[in-house]
Structure 1
């Protein structure tokens, strides 16, 4: 089964093709074809990078229309040095990461007109992502016709949160309006949970995990019996941890206070909370943890403050997830910061030495991938896992197609 995965963001588009023959293997397969489109490097242009076993391609094209850029990206599948299929009909199914599925979509589904309408309606809750996800769906329809398409929702993994964790303590009318904690990064948390159980040699249902997805966006999940029972992101991806440019949780009274000032508006506060806060807002330098660390080494006090706040919030929320689980078998770090910043892992783990958690400093320092970096006598395992969202989406597509056969 050949599966095309489209993972669209507000400023980039990651895509890949997998071929799964027989059952899903224990280890993730390497894609036959990988492509990335970036709209941010130069205004008015899009940069396309494509990699296959046979060749690579890099080009810059006018970005007047995202649809045209998508068409060019799809064309590299069938033509030129990066060709891996001769015609679109060789693709059996296309899987899309869709950030927000609301209450109605608690698992992956075949995309229909009703599903597209729901994704569009939920764009108000994920304005940076759902519209881009929908554009990818429409691009496939326009250029490839009737190939089956599947929506894999980032919120689905958290859809069985207990009511006590999911419902906000506002008026009950909020519940009736669908205002609740949805959680995000679910595809990553789901993959990392299963991968962690495999690394530990245990059944997923038998381990209590806290998965830390730390990238430009950050979230934690408490996983018990294979299910998410608590998470830090909420009604939108703005809640919870301090992030690259997002504030995470703040006192809502601050927003009321600011809105009462005549020079503020909803649109301005939206920009501040989503684009001008977090690491960038506090440091005044960057949302990139590598640049924050470099500035700290040069004595920048605001960069140090950004680091300290980040670590404080990370420790605090790990503690909250710990309480939801009633114990912990393994702490998992993943995504850009989680996988590549030993100092963050060390700082987070240091606070939980009272649990008997002991980090192996040498293992932690040497860019670990899919291994346990705790000492042999640690009471809690600590894993670094390279998240494979695209592979998880492909597996979800495989399962859904097999069930429908």
Structure 2
């Protein structure tokens, strides 16, 4: 089955064309600056194309992608009729979706109702679904939710200690995100452990957005992100865990509205806020190496926050069989992995400095042979999860 995978953002969209049965990727790319001037970056085989294309809306962007896939130098299929299904990344499914579903009017209506929980993401996700329905009528569309994997969390883990009515009236609780990545990486770790039962895995998805999850026997029992992605770890521009009192005090001292304060929390904090240099960890690592103390502080804070959650989740899991690192930072920043794992000998987890500093695009174990808990670096593949879920939903429903 040939699946068109779409991840629609507010002013950009990522895409991939894949056969999930054999994991063959025919093409992938990115549309940027939608509504401004439009840039399409298209990769196929060993080749790359970059084109400036007028994209006033997402519709023109998706039309441009489909045209590039079927015509000219970037052609990889003869017709859009070769596409058998469309898989969509959907950010927030609330409590309504515990798995991937065929897109129907009822599903879209439910996602619209959940927009207050993800005002930046759900509208763009819905737009992508509706445009694909228009441009490829009759083709099944499947929504794959970031939050679905974490719907197995027990109530004592996902509830906030607010008045209970805030949950019953407004569904205020922890939902978690990066679910497709946490699912993929934890499942890969179970294969690497060659242990299917009583597996205790901690996944550290570290990138511009970061989260940690505790996965018991393949099911999420806790995760660091909450009602929204701002909770949890310190990230590229997000603050992560900040006490409500600190937020209120900052607002009163700076004369900020709640929207202005949330803008600070989401876009001006985290790595960029502490380092004062960049939200890109590579630049901050270079700054620390050159003696910049704020960059050094940012690195120490990042590692400490991750380690804090690793320790908490090891306790929640009653031990740990594997700690996994994934995402742009998790896969590439050896120093962060080293700092997170330093001192975890008491848990039976010991990192091998030589293995840790070797670069590879393959999944690997960087723990010492004597370590009772393994340390895995596993490249994530969220697009495969979306494509495979789409394949399973479509074949199961007979579409």
* TM-score when normalising by structure 2: 0.95
- Give the structure 2 partner of residue 383 of structure 1: 376
CA contact (8 A) 1:289 1:337 kept: yes
**Compared with structure 1, are the counterparts of its residues 364 and 30 closer, same or farther at alpha carbon in structure 2 (3 Å cutoff)?**
farther
Q: In the alignment, which residue of structure 1 is the partner of 2:292?
A: 300
Q: Could you say if the C-alpha distance between residues 255 and 118 of structure 1 is closer, same or farther in structure 2, counting changes exceeding 3 Å?
A: same
2:235 is aligned to 243
Moved over 4 A (4+): none
The Cα offsets for residues 255-293 of structure 1, whole Å up to 9 and x where unpaired, read as 223444572112211110000000001111111110000
Q: Secondary structure at the match of 2:175?
A: coil
C-alpha contact 2:58 2:128 (8 A) present in aligned 1: no
For residues 216 and 11 of structure 1, what CA distance do their matches in structure 2 show?
A: 17
Counterparts of 2:24 and 2:273, CA distance in 1: 38
Structure 1 contact 56–81 (Cα < 8 Å) conserved: no
Structure 2 match to 1:202? 195
* Equivalence for 1:9: 9
Give ranges in structure 1 of 5+ residues lacking alignment: none
Higher mean C-alpha displacement, 121-130 vs 312-321: 121-130
Cα distance, 1:305 vs. partner? 1.3
Q: Counterparts of 2:237 and 2:324 in 1: how far apart (Å)?
A: 23
Distance of aligned partners of 1:145 and 1:300 in 2 relative to their CA distance in 1, 3 Å threshold: same
SS in 2 for 1:32: strand
Q: What secondary structure, in the 3-state scheme, does the structure 2 residue paired with 1:45 have?
A: coil
2:25 to 31, 44, 49: 31
Note the C-alpha offset of 1:242.
0.5
The answer to whether the 8 Å contact 2:140/2:394 transfers is no
Residues of 2 paired with 1:262 and 1:367: CA distance?
45
Distance 1:69 1:248 in 2: 33
Give the corresponding residue for 1:363.
355
Query: Structure 1 pair 393/167, CA: closer, same or farther in 2 (3 Å)?
Result: same
The more displaced of 310-319 and 238-247 is: 310-319
Residue 72 (1) aligns with residue 64 (2):
yes
Match of residue 186, structure 1, among 176, 179, 190: 179
Q: Which residue of 1 aligns with 2:267?
A: 275
Given that residues 235 and 271 in structure 2 are in contact (C-alpha distance below 8 angstroms), is that contact kept between their aligned partners in structure 1? yes
2:383 maps to 1:395: no
Equivalents in 2 of 1:183, 1:199: separation in Å?
A: 25
* 1:89 aligned onto 2:81: yes
Q: Where do 5+ consecutive residues of structure 2 fail to align?
A: none
1:143 to 1:308, Cα distance in 2 relative to 1, 3 A? same
CA distance in 1, matches of 2:208, 2:308: 19
Q: Which residue of 2 aligns with 1:113?
A: 105
